[in-house]
Chains A and B, each alone.
Chain A
Amino acid sequence: MEYAALKRGLHRALSTHSSKFPHGIGMVMFEINPRFKQQNPTSESELSSQITQNFSAWRMGLPFELPVTNPKSIPALIAVGGGKGGVGKSIVSANLGANLAQFGYRVLIIDLDLGCSNLHSHFGVAMPKKSLADFLLTKTANFRDIMLPAPVQGVAFVAGGREEIWGDFLENPSSDLQVLWDAIVSSRQQYKVDIVVLDLGAGTHRYTMDFFSCAHLGIVTCLPEPTSIENAYVFFKMALWKLIDNLGRRLHQTEVAQDVKAALASMAGGSLSSGYATCFRQLAMSYPGFIQELQKTIQARNVGIMINQARDQADIDLGTSMEHICQKYFGLPTRYVGYLNYDESVLKSLKNRRLLVSDFPHSMIAKRLSVAAAQSLKILGMQRRN
């Protein structure tokens, strides 16, 4: 059904708007649904209070240069990360994006698993010809070319690109990702994207943490098993360190940032009483200004926890427990976004080469994803549009 709708929309867009949009592909999905035309995304009432209020604090912790000064001209950024591989980052980002589109937002999902991308497979699409690699490395495409319509209304996605191109880049990074960041930030003004979902790669690679520290809402997915939990905590830790780094650069206090990091490394140990929260409290006496700014930047970001493949109540409760531990140990206020139950339909939909929520819309996991999407909107301070 989605394919039919997509085809129809594509046809219409190409026939009616071909003169208006010479590179019409990127705009196709926005033309399908007349509902979207009624909304004016740049109207002030539609904007998230959470994002606009904490704009300056959020900006302090950015690793990139921000070209715009108006909080209303940037899309809401949701990053899905989580240390370990195979915990469902891509599934969550693809389906969360689809659910957010159901709520009436235009969503752009970007595969940032550089060199190991498979987001397109979750949409049931073969590796597209135009991808992020063409935009960033070979520079043969502009950003609109690589925004591809997903088989769900209101969703566009950017594929990661072929691994052989990324191989060289990751070996010796020649260009940085500022270009991509600029494109993401300006996507609201240019393409009327409301929410950008960043599908991050496994591990705590530099670029992964760069984009995680940018996000308004960073969701850490985690399986209820020790290895995954350990990696999730490492991920939280690295996110904190990244924020300290970024803040040091912004405030031109790189020495202070180094000192704080060194102090943290030496003080923090394997117990609650010597966790990061305690260390911050002690460091606040030596570097009151810096720690205060750090607290502000942390508050400006929301960190969410998501438990995937929950099999019983203990697994579900793990989320609340992790919430508590993060607060106690890292001093990081986290929110339990939701859990996904263990479901065979995930595998089936992948084999059917269809998006999970459109292949099994009445499955339990689709319901849980919808709840998680609603919760994410709530955390970001946004209202459902329909």
Chain B
Amino acid sequence: MIDQQRTESRSLRSLAALNLNGPTLYELLDVPTQASRLQIRESYIRLRSTYASGSQALYSLVSDEEARQTLESIEEAYRILDDDHLRKEYDDLIGVIREPVRTQPLDYGSLHDSARMGRRISLQEETSGSKLYGSSSESTDNRGVWDGEGENEVRTTRPYVSSAPVAGKIKKVAERPTSPDLRAQEEAILAKPEVFDGVTLTRLREILSIPQSEIQERTKIAIEYIKALENNDFHKLPSLVYVRGFLKIYLQYLGIQDGKPLIDAYAEKFNNWREKHRPHS
């Protein structure tokens, strides 16, 4: 805690002690003022190797002493520009208006001790309660990334992964229809298993208002086969045993308890077509 406070006060002091008459930090790092954090980092790595001791590129032009000073100022510039909150403060200081970053890909850039910085930001938020850090620090906060303080926190720092499948029990069956009207439609189809084919299969799916992609995702049937099943494109389908298997898990996912008569009806149609078109297969 004390250590954090010390680093915090040092950073503020150094920002105040910056020489505003010389080149800006952006000029020092050779980046445009709108540069992303990744661009700044790339430029910093390039410049660090340029001015590092033993770098050959400086030979005969720049003295060792000056290279060391330049390297120090580059380190300082990077330290400020890499920190979102310090950078914003600095931008205000020199009058740069920067477009706020809409998406939050910043977690990719947390390659060095940004976890520590993240915590420092939150500390300041508590103590000063300044409005400056209010909105931005929440999203750029890297706390917990390295600490593994809990599943919950990790997920809050990476909101963009929320669309990925939720770990745990996978939903095996689609939501059943609630309205009696839809139930009646489904019953009507199930009552006449002999006319079952791709069209009625599609109808069953549409009653539950499920897209084909969901079927594909849950049952792992390739989308081409789902389309072929529903369009009665028998020539695109594999052999009968696969077709039966596909229909079984498809109907299972739709939540139809007794799908056997339906599958048999479909298989019969498939067989008829096959005997007509591919008698020797």
Binding site for B on A (CB under 8 A): 224-226, 229-230, 233, 270-273, 275, 314, 317-318, 320-322, 324-325, 329
In the bound complex, how far is the Cα of B47 from the Cα of A317, in angstroms? 10
Q: Nearest-CB distance from B164 to chain A (Å)?
A: 36
Asked if B58 CB lies within 8 Å of chain A CBs, one says yes
In the bound complex, how far is the Cα of B55 from the Cα of A46, in angstroms? 42
Beta-carbon contacts of B132-173 to A below 8 Å, as 1s and 0s?
000000000000000000000000000000000000000000
Do residues B47 and A324 form an inter-chain contact, with CB atoms below 8 A?
Answer: yes
Beta-carbon contacts of B58-83 to A below 8 Å, as 1s and 0s?
11111100100010000000000000
Which B residues touch A322, using CB under 8 A? 57
Asked if B46 CB lies within 8 Å of chain A CBs, one says yes
Q: Nearest-CB distance from A82 to chain B (Å)?
A: 15
In the bound complex, how far is the Cα of B60 from the Cα of A225, in angstroms? 12
* Total number of residue pairs linking A and B with CB closer than 8 Å: 53
Q: Which of A224, A314, A324 contacts B30 (CB 8 A)?
A: A324
Q: Which residue of A lies closest to B49 (CB)?
A: A317
Given contacts A324-B46, A324-B47, contact A318 B56 (CB under 8 A): yes
Do residues A318 and B57 form an inter-chain contact, with CB atoms below 8 A?
Answer: yes
Q: Nearest-CB distance from A320 to chain B (Å)?
A: 6
Q: Nearest-CB distance from B215 to chain A (Å)?
A: 48
Query: Can you list 24 pairs linking A and B with CB atoms under 8 Å apart?
Result: A224-B56, A226-B56, A226-B59, A229-B56, A233-B60, A233-B61, A270-B61, A270-B63, A271-B66, A272-B66, A272-B70, A317-B49, A318-B56, A321-B46, A321-B49, A321-B55, A322-B57, A324-B47, A324-B50, A324-B57, A325-B50, A325-B58, A325-B61, A329-B61
Which B residues touch A229, using CB under 8 A? 56-57, 59-60
Do residues B60 and A230 form an inter-chain contact, with CB atoms below 8 A?
Answer: yes
Interface of B (DSSP majority class): helix
Besides A230-B60, A322-B57, 20 other CB < 8 A contacts?
A224-B56, A225-B56, A226-B56, A226-B59, A226-B60, A229-B57, A233-B59, A233-B60, A233-B61, A270-B62, A271-B62, A275-B61, A318-B57, A321-B49, A321-B55, A324-B46, A324-B50, A325-B50, A325-B57, A329-B62
Given contacts A317-B49, A320-B46, A321-B50, contact A271 B63 (CB under 8 A): yes
Count of interface residues, chain B, beta-carbon cutoff 8 Å: 16
Beta-carbon contacts of B9-30 to A below 8 Å, as 1s and 0s?
0000000000000000000001
In the bound complex, how far is the Cα of B63 from the Cα of A226, in angstroms? 14
In the bound complex, how far is the Cα of B67 from the Cα of A296, in angstroms? 30
In the bound complex, how far is the Cα of B61 from the Cα of A252, in angstroms? 32
Which B residues touch A273, using CB under 8 A? 66
In the bound complex, how far is the Cα of B55 from the Cα of A233, in angstroms? 15
Which A residues touch B70, using CB under 8 A? 272
In the bound complex, how far is the Cα of B58 from the Cα of A318, in angstroms? 10
In the bound complex, how far is the Cα of B55 from the Cα of A229, in angstroms? 11
Interface of A (DSSP majority class): helix
Q: Nearest-CB distance from B55 to chain A (Å)?
A: 6
Q: Which residue of B lies closest to A236 (CB)?
A: B61
In the bound complex, how far is the Cα of B61 from the Cα of A369, in angstroms? 29
Q: Which residue of A lies closest to B51 (CB)?
A: A321
Which B residues touch A329, using CB under 8 A? 61-62
Q: Which residue of A lies closest to B57 (CB)?
A: A321
Which B residues touch A318, using CB under 8 A? 56-57
In the bound complex, how far is the Cα of B59 from the Cα of A230, in angstroms? 6
Q: Nearest-CB distance from A118 to chain B (Å)?
A: 28
Which B residues touch A272, using CB under 8 A? 61-62, 66, 70
Which of B55, B57, B62 has the most chain A CB atoms closer than 10 A to its own CB?
Answer: B57
Which B residues touch A324, using CB under 8 A? 30, 46-47, 50, 57
Q: Which residue of B lies closest to A227 (CB)?
A: B59
Q: Nearest-CB distance from A90 to chain B (Å)?
A: 24
Which A residues touch B50, using CB under 8 A? 320-321, 324-325
Which A residues touch B66, using CB under 8 A? 271-273
In the bound complex, how far is the Cα of B61 from the Cα of A1, in angstroms? 48
Q: Nearest-CB distance from A229 to chain B (Å)?
A: 5
Which A residues touch B59, using CB under 8 A? 226, 229-230, 233
Which A residues touch B62, using CB under 8 A? 270-272, 325, 329
Q: Nearest-CB distance from A335 to chain B (Å)?
A: 15
Which A residues touch B30, using CB under 8 A? 324
Which A residues touch B61, using CB under 8 A? 233, 270, 272, 275, 325, 329
In the bound complex, how far is the Cα of B224 from the Cα of A57, in angstroms? 61
Which A residues touch B57, using CB under 8 A? 229, 318, 321-322, 324-325
Q: Nearest-CB distance from B197 to chain A (Å)?
A: 55
Which of A272, A314, A320, A329 has the most chain B CB atoms closer than 10 A to its own CB?
Answer: A272
Which B residues touch A325, using CB under 8 A? 50, 57-58, 61-62
In the bound complex, how far is the Cα of B59 from the Cα of A318, in angstroms? 11
Q: Nearest-CB distance from A253 to chain B (Å)?
A: 29
In the bound complex, how far is the Cα of B63 from the Cα of A321, in angstroms? 16
In the bound complex, how far is the Cα of B57 from the Cα of A313, in angstroms? 14
In the bound complex, how far is the Cα of B46 from the Cα of A271, in angstroms? 20
Beta-carbon contacts of B229-242 to A below 8 Å, as 1s and 0s?
00000000000000
Which A residues touch B60, using CB under 8 A? 226, 229-230, 233, 270
Which A residues touch B58, using CB under 8 A? 325
Q: Nearest-CB distance from B67 to chain A (Å)?
A: 9
